[in-house]
Amino acid sequence: MNFLLRGARVVDPAAGTDERCDLGIVGGQIVRPAELPSGAETVDLSGLIVAPAFTDLHVHLRQPGMEEAETIASGCAAALAGGFRTVVAMPNTRPPVDDISGVRFQIEEARRSGHVEVLPSACITRLRQGLELTDLEALASAGAVAFTDDGSTVSNDTLMRLAMQRIAALGSVLFDHAQDRAAEQRGVMHDGAAARRFGLPGIPADAEVRIVRRDLRLAAATGCRLHLQHLSAAGSVEALRQAQEEGLPVTAEATPHHLALCDDDIPGPDPNYKMNPPLRSAADREAIVQAVADGVISCLATDHAPHPAAKKSFGFQWAPFGVVGLETAVAVTWEVLVAAGRMSPLEWVRRWTTGPAAVLRRSPPSLAPGEPADLVAIAPDRPRVVDPSVFRSLSRNTPFAGRVYRAWPVMAWIRGRRFDL
Ligand SMILES: [Zn+2]
């Protein structure tokens, strides 16, 4: 099918442009409208923003082993509904992705599941136990695009240094869930006023900051590319900013929930506000927003972490950590970053497209003629209430239910095929 997309505001970070223009799509590729054969279907996109379809570096697809929470197929459906073309799957499944059969399973299952590209990451250590490195070289050859023990860090400095040396030699990248297990104190909420009010054990911000500092030191020593996952604390941003000024190859991501919410916003001990790292103080939140706005944090990522309602009903202390995010990511981040005047639409799209692509060393998603027609159309002012009952995800655990947001993805083209979202 061929299309003429008319009247949209086309935001293309790879070209650095944000302008009203028409786009053509022929056989899965973007073309100049003048090159369209006759008979192309005209789609009026006036009032909409068109951007390259988004990439999410941090998604839990839960398969194998936790299919009651999500499957690769349902996670891909949620990703497409959210405007995503590409997701990086975290390896903390059951069993974890720590051998090549796990990587192959993810790739094969995603191929069967639909139109979203699933890039597997693999564990740094066997069974994510932090004791013995996986066969990093074999995993990379099988298709793992990054290495992480997400859910926890590798506590042993010597082992982490060895991992970084080998990952650097592979030219790959280490993603770290930077959190000191010893300093976590079995906490469930940010160690602050809200935790004290609810009588719940806290996780201090320093648990993150000290591992961020350790990781930066090891990255400097080994030359390994390091990507810091879901940063939540002002101190982490400060360390990251300094490391980047010193020229270290280090990037980071922030999640919609850490940008939109702080611990003061937690209305009660509702497990839909329980995630790891936790929602931190208003000052931490502001530091994360500022770092995304000025590009020190170059990626937005959801940390989409589905859990079935039954598990989230255990109460705040015992419920598992994590919230879903794929289907509200555009709405929430637009509100906090663009509608609030913190950054331009162009920079916001950059954090969801070329930023993540650079971390993976992939060519930047672009809307130039000749590029694959992978794009998303976003209505920037069509207010809608978040209704988890219509999520494509199998899980509903979101802190944003009932809130009203104005910007939503409404259409996507993946390899030239049109989807109404
Ligand atoms: Zn994590």
- Judge residue 408's burial from the number of C-beta atoms within 10 Å of its C-beta, 0-12 exposed, 13-18 middle, 19 or more buried: buried
Centre of ligand 1 from the C-alpha of residue 419, in Å: 31
As given in the structure block, the two tokens for residue 62 are 């839960």
The mean predicted confidence, pLDDT, of the chain is 97
Superfamily of domain 3-49+370-420: Urease, subunit C, domain 1 (2.30.40.10)
Residue 374 — very low, low, confident or very high, per pLDDT cuts 50/70/90?
A: very high
Residue 114 — very low, low, confident or very high, per pLDDT cuts 50/70/90?
A: confident
- CA of 310: how far to CAs of 5, 106, 331, 389, in Å? 44, 26, 27, 15
Centre of ligand 1 from the C-alpha of residue 21, in Å: 40
CATH architecture classification, 52-359 = Alpha-Beta Barrel (3.20)
Q: State mean pLDDT over 240-251.
A: 98
Q: State mean pLDDT over 35-57.
A: 97
Q: State mean pLDDT over 308-333.
A: 95
Centre of ligand 1 from the C-alpha of residue 271, in Å: 17
Round the CA-based radius of gyration of the chain to a whole number and report it.
Answer: 21
In angstroms, the CA 421 to CA 419 distance is 6
Would the pLDDT of 261 be above 90? yes
Question: For residue 279, what pLDDT is reported?
Answer: 98
In angstroms, the CA 263 to CA 257 distance is 11
Question: For residue 185, what pLDDT is reported?
Answer: 74
Would the pLDDT of 263 be above 90? yes
As given in the structure block, the two tokens for residue 375 are 């794009």
Tokens 């003061």, located at residue = 264
Question: For residue 113, what pLDDT is reported?
Answer: 84
CATH 3.20.20.140 domain extents, the chain: 52-359
Map residue 316 onto helix, strand or coil: coil
Sign of the dihedral through C-alpha 386, 388, 393, 395: positive
Write down the catalytic residue from 98, 263, 303, 374: 303
Question: Which range is least confidently modeled, 16-25, 68-77, 245-254, 308-317?
Answer: 308-317
pTM above 0.95, yes or no: yes
Q: Quick one: CA torsion of 370, 374, 380, 385, rounded to 10 degrees? A: 180
In angstroms, the CA 179 to CA 191 distance is 14
Helix 205-222 to helix 157-170 angle, to the nearest 10 degrees? 50
Centre of ligand 1 from the C-alpha of residue 410, in Å: 29
Cβ(143)–Cβ(120) under 8 Å? yes
Centre of ligand 1 from the C-alpha of residue 152, in Å: 7
**Residue 104 CB neighbour total at 10 angstroms:** 14
CATH 2.30.40.10 domain extents, the chain: 3-49+370-420
Known active-site residue 264: no
Centre of ligand 1 from the C-alpha of residue 177, in Å: 5
In angstroms, the CA 47 to CA 407 distance is 12
Question: For residue 186, what pLDDT is reported?
Answer: 86
Question: For residue 341, what pLDDT is reported?
Answer: 98
Question: For residue 183, what pLDDT is reported?
Answer: 79
